[in-house]
Amino acid sequence: MAMNQVIPGITSPNKLTIPVGSRDHIQGLIDAPISLLEYGDYECPACGQAYRVVKAVQQSLGNSLCFAFRNFPLTMIHPHAEHAAEAAEAAAAQGNFWKMHDLLFENQNALEDEDLAKNALILHLDIPLFITQLASGAFLERVKEDVVSGLKSGVNGTPTFFVNGKLYDGPHAYGPLLAALAPS
């Protein structure tokens, strides 16, 4: 792709300040030819819809796509989002980020602490450790680091996507997102 080529749905001034890397939660190969990064909120209805779109895009692009997720809980309007993000990080510490991620998006109306503990039980996590980490805020700093990285990249809402490091400002629908990801 030429450096000055315009990609539909991509706004060039806003770029990802912290590139996708080993710190991120990634599905696919980190060196895949296409990268899609989402800043998301587990309580956000639009993120719940985008979750299904991303799954379909991943199915279509297979190994050519690296998908990464960073937390961006909108705590002023989604009171459970930050704790849900912490639950995802606690599950990540036990090797189950993506399974918890999926459960949280598939059950967005069940984000109370009891629901998070039930998810941990479903995933066969170490429940006492999970509950202790959630109660102590063990992963709150990690969540806040994601938020800060998003703010530095111009994120002001969710979901926000970056395609190959550039802000995607198109619709969060399958066709337009797939078109923005298509190699030229």
> pLDDT by residue (tens digit) across 95-104?
999 999 999 9
Residue 104 lies in a domain: yes
Confirm whether 1 is domain-assigned: no
Query: What are the tens digits of pLDDT across the range 59-100?
Result: 999 999 999 999 999 999 999 999 999 999 999 999 999 999
Number of folded domains that form the chain: 1
Q: How many Cβ atoms sit within 10 Å of the Cβ of residue 68?
A: 21
In a domain, 92, yes or no: yes
Q: Does 63 reside within a domain?
A: yes
Neighbours of 85 (CB within 10 A): 28
* Alpha-carbon gap, residue 46 to 43, rounded angstroms: 9
Rounded CA-CA distance 182/101 in Å is: 25
Produce one character per residue of 137-170: b if its CB has 16 or more CB atoms within 10 Å, e if not.
ebbbebbeebbebbeebebeebbbbbbbbbbbeb
DSSP symbols for 122-149: HTT--HHHHHHHHHHTTTHHHHHHHHHH
Please check whether residue 4 lies inside any domain of the structure. Answer: no
Instruction: Tell me if 5 is assigned to some domain.
Output: no
Q: What is the pLDDT along the chain (184 residues), one digit of tens a residue?
A: 333 333 444 444 589 999 999 999 999 999 999 999 999 999 999 999 999 999 999 999 999 999 999 999 999 999 999 999 999 999 999 999 999 999 999 999 999 999 999 999 999 999 999 999 999 999 999 999 999 999 999 999 999 999 999 999 999 999 999 999 986 5
**In this predicted structure, what is the pLDDT of residue 184?**
57
> Could you tell me the pTM of the whole model?
0.91
Identify the H or E element spanning 106.
helix 97-106
Segments forming the whole domain that contains residue 119:
10-181
- Tell me, yes or no, whether 141 lies in a domain: yes
Q: What is the CATH number of the domain that holds 15?
A: 3.40.30.10
